[in-house]
Chain A
Amino acid sequence: MVKKSQKKEKTGALSIKNVTKIYDPSGVNVKAVDDCSMEIAGGEVCMIVGPSGCGKTTLLNAIAGFHSITEGSIHLDGELLCGPGKPKAEQSAERMVVFQHGALFPWKTLQENVAYGPTVQRAMSSAEALDKAGQMLAEAGLGQFIKKYPGEVSSGMARRAEIVRALINDPKVLLLDEPYRAMDALTKQIMHESLLETYDRTGVTIFFITHDLEEAIFLGDKVHVVTTRPCQLKKTVEVNIPRPRSFETQSSEEFRRLLEEVNEAVHEEAVKAFQAGEREMA
């Protein structure tokens, strides 16, 4: 609460209230999210951790406007995104998604990809947008690759470019769905540092879904552990490690302690999820 008042001027505060999502694809109601509430302050890095298939992505899809919600409401800076009478949020550049498998358009160069948002929103002329895109990619260390197609660069570079593509629109919230899942540990480390550097520069609110507990603590201000399906908030762990953080942070005493705390909460849920899976199989 104190933190919130400190960052009063920051935008991008997400308020998720009693959200429930029921899927009904084949007449059997599946509750993916059940009465889930979370408060995310503007400019906060909020990490969502929970077992596979627990409904984390459903929550993200609701915020992004890809799916509707059944009950509850989601507000961004006090404005209703979705709620009673408006089950599905509109898609908008103020809530940018970075996808699990990467969704840079393979038929556009990195520069064209980044310039795409401002161009179609008519926020800039196409030449201006390309200029700005080139500049921002160079800042992200991708200066030599702006004319390359996504298929020609490594997955790490593509992911960095995708974050630049999101940031050029000056979003209020960045929604990341396990963006570094398929990467090796070394690349991941570089990606983390690059994301932290970006965050320190922009202060954008980050909603980040992950399975990787070390990642969650290293990047986050708060780690929200959610339960196995249906998804509910189980525990919130505050990460009070000062920024800017570097990779040495990960060997600190405090880091280890937090890791243990989160691990304990997640492990319980993982066991439950596994047992539920076994029951379904049986």
Chain B
Amino acid sequence: MTTQTLAETGQVKRAISLRSVLNNAGIGLALLALILFFSVFTEHFLTANNITNILTQITINLILAVGMTFVILIGGIDLSVGSVMAFAAVVAGKAITLPGFGPAEAIALAVVAATMTGVLCGVFNGVISAYWALPSFIITLGMLNIARGAALQVSDAQTIYAFPIAFEEFGSAMIYGVPVVFIVALLLVLVAWFVLNYTVFGRLLYGIGNNEEAVRLAGHPVFWYKVAAFTICGFTAGIAAIVYMARLNISSPIAGIGFELNAIAAVIIGGTSLSGGRGSVIGTLLGAIIIGVLANGLILIGLSDFMRQMITGIVIVFAVILDHYRAKYTAK
């Protein structure tokens, strides 16, 4: 390369990185602005207790949203995560209350039961939608009903309780005021970030979201990658079930109704494109925090829960409009 092209190169690179920084930083700045706003206008927002409170509240949504990011990145959607979480919780609840196990074995059994239930539901979603090239919207809508029905059937529509003490302690444990369950969620975010950015698997998921045919033509088994994305989403629903049980000490077959919508909202607010191929799990983390901060802050400044819901909805619509312009901008 000549010196001239090298100089041009530098400029191009700067321009592009500036743009990408603006893209990602936009969400961060929005979050900072929100935090600033609520800190100034409410007394209790920026207190240790309240922050702990927010982190606890967003944990389950964040876990579901991490899995949802994988599915949305390949251009799919998973509407079943709320129901699958309830189903997994009920199965795990049955497992953990089986007689004849010590607390440690019972908890291990519950974790395996919950994640396996989630994984199986995810495999179902993935295989059916990828094999017949059906819209995942419909297939997972089916799974939403299947899993909810299964949860009610397995539990006989009864709430399951009386879990080991250790399990309960895990659910409410704190490290320096940070809930342990939130740390679990953060670890998931980190693993997902690593997988999406540093592995062949992650690279090809982005590729599939952008141009499935090009990836297929390059000789990659697109079918299995898609199945894997849905399976990961099911897996996180299983993890969410465990956290839910540990937090509330019950397994309810009617838990998690509407949770899929919050998870999708977190992913979209976080800047991941609904059409796939673009976005990041760090954005999803910020998106989930924004939803949590809004929910908490709006109540603190005295708005009703109905108003909070309306404003969250407006933020989602705004995020999608923003994504439209972002897509147009990068296409140029």
Report whether chain A binds chain B. Answer: no
